[in-house]
Structure 1
Amino acid sequence: MRPTLLAGLALSVVLAAPLAAQNAATLDPMTNDKVASYDWVRPEADYVRREVMIPMRDGKKLFTVIVFRKGTTDGPMLLSRSPYNATGHTSRNRSQKIEEVLAVMDAPFVNDGYIRVYQDVRGLAKSEGDYVMTRPLRGPLNKTKVDHATDAYDTIDWLVKNVKESNGKVGIIGSSYLGFTSLMALIDPHPALKAAVPQSPMVDGWIGDDWFHNGAFRTFGFDYDLGQTVEKGGGEVPKGTGDEYTAYLGGGSAGEFAKRWGIDQLPSVRKPLEHPAYDSFWQGQAVDKLLAARKLTVPTLVMLGQWDQEDSYGAPAVFKAVKAAQPDAPITLGIGPWRHSGANYEGSSLGPLKFEGDTALQFRLNWIKPFLDCRVKSNPQPCQPMPAAVTYATGTNRWETDAKWPAGSEMPLYLAGNGGLSWAKPAAGSDDYVSDPAKPVPFLPRPVNMGGDAWRTWLVQDQRFVDGRPDVLSYTSDVLTKPVHIKGAPRVDLRAATTGQDSDWVVKLIDVYPEENSANATMAGYELGIGIEIFRGRYVHGFSTPAPLEPGKTYSFGWSLPNVNHVFLPGHKIMVQVQSSLFPLYDRNPQTWVPSIMWAKPGDYKKATQTVRWGGSEASAVYLPVVAN
C-alpha cells in the first residue's frame, strides 16, 4: 500500500478510539438527573470552605460553614450565629476569591489569618430543631435544656476541638439578630470565647427594639414574622404596591390587620398580639437584664448606628445595665453615624449626610479589629485600654472617645410660647392640637414604602414634610451663636393632657440648618432628626400596668430619645416637634380606652384635643446631655 494510504488508515484508527469510548459512556435517556451535591468551590479557589453539622447537647445538629484562606494555621476563629442562612453568608457570587465570597466586613479578618464561621441558628435553614423567634433563656419561659447560650457554648466547644487550623480562641460578632445571639453567648460563656462584638443587637423587644417602642406597636414586624417563620408562601404581607399608609389605615387595628391577611395565627404574630403590655413574657427575655444579673467576663464592644431605625435601644441599654451592676465590667459602647447594621457596609454617607471618609471602614479597622486581634490572636501585642465609649460627633464629623457615658450633663431646653424654645423656664402657658386617628401623621412623605432606602434612612428624613401640619407642634430656638454639643440620650419630660382616655406622644429633636447654604444646597433649611421616639400614654404609671388617662388631667410623660453624639453648629437652630402619631410605622392609638389596642374596633377611634403645657410648674422640656465646648 502507498505510504499516504497507510498514514490515513492509522489516523482513522486513532480518531475512532476516543469516539468509541465516548459512545460506550453514553447515558441511558432515563438516567436519574438528580445528583446528591455539587461542589462549586473549584481547585483554584484561594480558600477552604467546609460544611459541617455540629451536635448540640440535646442531640440536634446545627449547620455550620467554616471558611479560611488556604495555608491558614494557628488562626483565631470569628463566629456568627445567624437566622439568615449560613450558606448565603458564605456563598456570595460563588466566587473563588475569599474577599468576594464573604461579606465586605470579613475581608480584613480572613486576610489576616482569621477563620470565619457562620452557623444557622436552631430550626432555620439547614439546622435541625424547632425555631423560636429570639428563643428565651432556659428558665420560666423556656423549659427545655437548650437556648442560644447553650448552643453557642456547644458550637465553640466543637470548633476548638475539631478545627485543626485554629489556635483554639474564638471571638463572636454579628448585627441585629446576630447581635442578639452574640450577647446570648456571653451568658455562661465557653472559656475559649475571648471577645464579643454585638452590633445593633435585639435586646428588649418591648421597650425600644423591634416589636414595640415604649408600648407602641411597630407594624413592620408583620412582614418580618411572615418572611422569617413560614417555610412556604412567606415573604411580605400582600399589601400591594401602593401607599402602605392607605393599606394599614384600611386594615384597622394591628390585630384586625393580621386577621385580614391570615397571619393572626402565626405563633410569632400571636405572641406580641397576646402581650401588648410589658409583662413577664417581655421582661423575662430582656437581654440587658439577663446580663446585668451575671458578671461579665468576656470583653465586649457593643455598638450601633446613631440613626438605627430598628434597634436603637439595645446596645446602650446593655452598656448601661452592665455598668450599673458591674462598674469595672470590660465593656465599651460604640456609636457611629450609621443606619441599622451600617457598620458592616460603606459608611461615607447616610441619606443627604456626608461624612469624612468611610466611617464604617474606619471603625472596623481602628476599633473592631484591634479589639479582637489582641484577644484572639496567638502571641498578640498587649491590648490597649478601652474607653467607655467611642462615638462619632455628627455635625463636626470626627471620632471621639470618652471615659464615661453619657458624657454630657443634663441641661433642660424648655418649650415656650410662640413656638419657641428657651434655656430658662418661661411663664406658664399651653398649646393645643387635634389628633385624628383617621388622619394620622405619617412617618415618611406619602406614598409610604417601608422598605429599601426609604426605610433605611427614614430617621434622617427632612422633617419639613410635617412641619406646619395642624396636628404637629413645632418649637424652635433662636439662631445659635455657639455650638451645642450633646453626648448621651436626651430625656423628654412632656407635661400634657388629652380629652381622650389614651394617647400617643411623639417627640422629635431636630437640627435646623440655615436657610442659605450654598456649600451644600441640599441641606439648606433642612430639618434633620437627631432623635425621634414615641410613648404610649396608657403606660404613664408603669409599663406593666396600663390604665386609662383621666380626660383633661395633666400628666408628666417621661422617656428617652436615642443615644447620640451631635453638635448643633452656630447658625443652626434647635427644634422640638410634638405630635400624636407616627404612622404606619406605629399602630394608631384609638384615644379611647380599650383593654388592648391590638384589637380596637373602628368605633373606638376618636378625635381628641391634645394640650401641651409649658412653663411655670408644668414646664415641658427636653433635657439635653450637654458637654462643655
Structure 2
Amino acid sequence: VDGWRGDDWFHNGAFRLGIDYIWEQIATRDNSSPFARTTFDEYDAAMRAGSAGALAKAHGLDQIGFWRKLSAHLAYDGFWQAQAMDQVLSRYPLKVPVMLVHGLWDQEDIYGATAVYRALKPKDTAGNMVYLTMGPWYHGQQIDDGKALGDIQWDQDTAKWWRRTVLGPFLAHYLKGTPMDVAPVTAFQSGTNQWQRLPGWPAQPAMTKLFLQPGDTVGFAPATGPVQTADYVSDPAHPVTNVPRPVRPVSYEDNHWKAWLVGDQRIVSSRPDVLTFTGPVLTQAVTIAGQPVVHLTAATSGTDSDWVVKLIDVYPDQVPSDPKMGGYQLAVGMDIFRGRYREGLDHA
C-alpha cells in the first residue's frame, strides 16, 4: 500500500535492507538471476560494505531502474505519495465491498491494511461495504496453519477459524447471495486468545497514557520533580540487529524471518546501548488496541539517528505449562523512525 510509510521498502524513512529481494524480483524478467551472496551472515556483508548504497552497487543494483528511483527518493515526496494506495483509493467512490486482512505481526506489510481501512471506512455510510480482519499472523499466515506464531501459542488454529467463519461466508454472500453474519471488524485479542466482533476500529479512543519515569521505570502517572534524561552510547560500528545473529536471508522455511516480530526481546533489552524502562507487575488486565502513539523527546551527537521504540509484554518469571516462556519478552508493538524526518516526512 505504501512502500515508504511502512510496507516493504521503508519504515518511516528507515530503509529495510532487502536488496536481494529487489534483485531477484526485478533484475531479470523471469527471475532467473539469483542474488550472489558473499556471506552466510547478512550482518557481515552489510558491515563490510558500510552503507546500503555501497552494498547495492557492489551487487550491481545501480543498473536497475527501481533501485535508482529508491535512491533518488529518500524522503516521502511526490514519488511515494502518488502511488500510496490508501491515498489513491480515497479519491474514488466506493463501489464494491472489500475485506481488508491485517496481520498483527506482519513482518513485511504491517502498514497497509489499516491505512486503507482509515481511507475507505468514511465512505461506507451504510456500514456494509468495508470490513476489516486483524489476525495474529505473520505475512500471509491467514492461508497457512494459524495455531502459533513463533513461540506464541494461540490455543486454536486462528487461520482456519477465520477462513471458515469470516472469509468463506463473506465471499459466499457477495458472490452467491448467501446470508452472512460477519461483523464489520473481526479482531483477535492476544492474551485472552479470543476473537472479537467489533463495530469499528479502533473500538474506542485511548483512555490511558504510559509515562517514562526516573530509575528506568514506567507508570500510568507523569513523573514529578525536575526534568531528567537517560543517556546511552550508540556505536554505528556495532548496530542493534532485529534478529539474533547470524542474520539469514529472507525465507519462510522457519521462524527466523517470518516470526521475528514476536521473537524474545531479551536479546535486545540486555544490550548496554538500549534503554529499557520496566513497570511493576500488573495487578489487573490492560488492553492495548489501535495504533500506539509515542511522544519522544531525544537528542543525538551524531548527524542522524534511527529511533526504535518497542512496547513489550514481559511474561511471568515461570510459566509451568511452557517453561521456555518464563520471562519471555513479547513485543506488542514496535516501529522505527529516522530522525532527519522529524520536521516533515517529505523532506530530509
TM-score normalized by the length of structure 2: 0.94
Q: Please tell me the residue identity of whatever aligns with 2:104.
A: Q
* Secondary structure of residue in 1 paired with 2:233: strand
Cα distance in 2 between the residues matched to 1:236 and 1:464: 35
**Paired residues, number:** 340
Equivalent position of 1:334 in the other structure: 133
Q: Distance in 2 between matches of 1:235 and 1:404?
A: 45
Q: Deviations over 1:195-253 (max 9, x none)?
A: xxxxxxxx000011001000011111x12221112147755532334211111111121
Matched residue SS, 1:204: coil
Pairwise CA distance, 1:328: 4.4
Confirm whether residue 423 of structure 1 aligns to residue 187 of structure 2. no
Equivalence for 1:391: 187
Aligned counterparts of 1:208 and 1:234: Cα–Cα separation in 2: 28
1:351 aligns with 2:147: no
Pair 1:320 & 2:118 matched: yes
User: Is the CA contact (8 Å cut-off) linking 2:107 and 2:138 kept in structure 1?
Assistant: yes
Q: Distance in 1 between matches of 2:209 and 2:303?
A: 29
- The CA deviation at 1:271 is 1.5
> Structure 1, residues 167-220: CA drift from partner, whole Å, max 9, x if none?
xxxxxxxxxxxxxxxxxxxxxxxxxxxxxxxxxxxx000011001000011111
Residues 223 and 235, structure 1, Cα contact 8 Å, conserved in 2? no
Matched, 1:404 2:166: no
Query: Cα deviation per residue 1:7-29 (whole Å; 9 max; x = unaligned)?
Result: xxxxxxxxxxxxxxxxxxxxxxx
Aligned AA (2:209): P
Is the CA contact 2:310–2:331 (under 8 Å) kept in the aligned structure 1? yes
Residue number among 39, 45, 56 corresponding to 1:258 in the alignment: 56
| Cα deviation, residue 336, structure 1 | 0.7
Would you say 1:542 and 2:344 are equivalent positions? yes
Distance change in 2, residues 1:476/1:450 (3 Å) = farther
Tell me the SS of whatever aligns to 1:529: strand
Q: Residue 364 of structure 1 corresponds to which residue in structure 2?
A: 163
- Cα offset, 1:272, TM superposition: 0.8
- Aligned partners of 2:3 and 2:9 also within 8 Å: yes
Cα deviations across residues 579-603 of structure 1 (Å, max 9, x unaligned)?
A: xxxxxxxxxxxxxxxxxxxxxxxxx
1:280 aligns with 2:280: no
RCO higher in structure (CA 8 A, sep ≥6): 2
Counterparts of 1:173-572 in structure 2, within 5 Å, are: 203-220=1-18, 222-229=19-26, 230-231=28-29, 234=32, 236-324=34-122, 327-328=125-126, 330-377=129-176, 380-384=177-181, 386-410=182-206, 411-427=208-224, 428-452=227-251, 453=254, 454-546=256-348
Q: Which residue identity lines up with residue 319 of structure 1 in the other structure?
A: Y
Q: Residues of 1 paired with 2:63 and 2:153: CA distance?
A: 44
Given that 2:169 and 2:178 are in contact with CA atoms closer than 8 Å, whether structure 1 keeps it comes out as no
Provide the C-alpha distance between the structure 2 equivalents of 1:448 and 1:404, rounded to a whole number of angstroms.
Answer: 39
Paired-residue identity, %:
45
**Cα drift, residue 387 of structure 1:** 3.0
Aligned residue type for 1:512: V
Could you tell me which amino acid in structure 1 is paired with residue 74 of structure 2? P
Q: Distance in 2 between matches of 1:357 and 1:457?
A: 18
- Residues 538 and 234 (structure 1 numbering): CA distance in 2 closer, same or farther, change over 3 Å? farther
Paired residue type of 1:278 = Y
Paired AA for residue 387 in structure 1:
A
Larger radius of gyration: 1
Distance 1:313 1:241, change over 3 A: same
Stretch deviating more after TM superposition (230-239 or 355-364): 230-239
Structure 1 residues 440 and 465: CA distance shift in structure 2, 3 A: same
Question: Does structure 2 conserve the Cα–Cα contact (< 8 Å) formed by 1:408 and 1:486?
Answer: no
Alpha-carbon shift at residue 383 of structure 1 (Å): 4.1
Separation in 1, partners of 2:31, 2:203: 49
Deviation, structure 1 residue 321 = 1.4
Matches of 1:463 and 1:327 in 2, distance apart?
42
Partner AA of 2:49 in structure 1: G
| CA contact 2:94–2:123 (8 Å) conserved in 1 | no
Matched AA of 1:332: Y
- Structure with higher strand content: 1
Amino acid at match of 1:415: L
User: Which amino acid in 1 is paired with 2:201?
Assistant: W
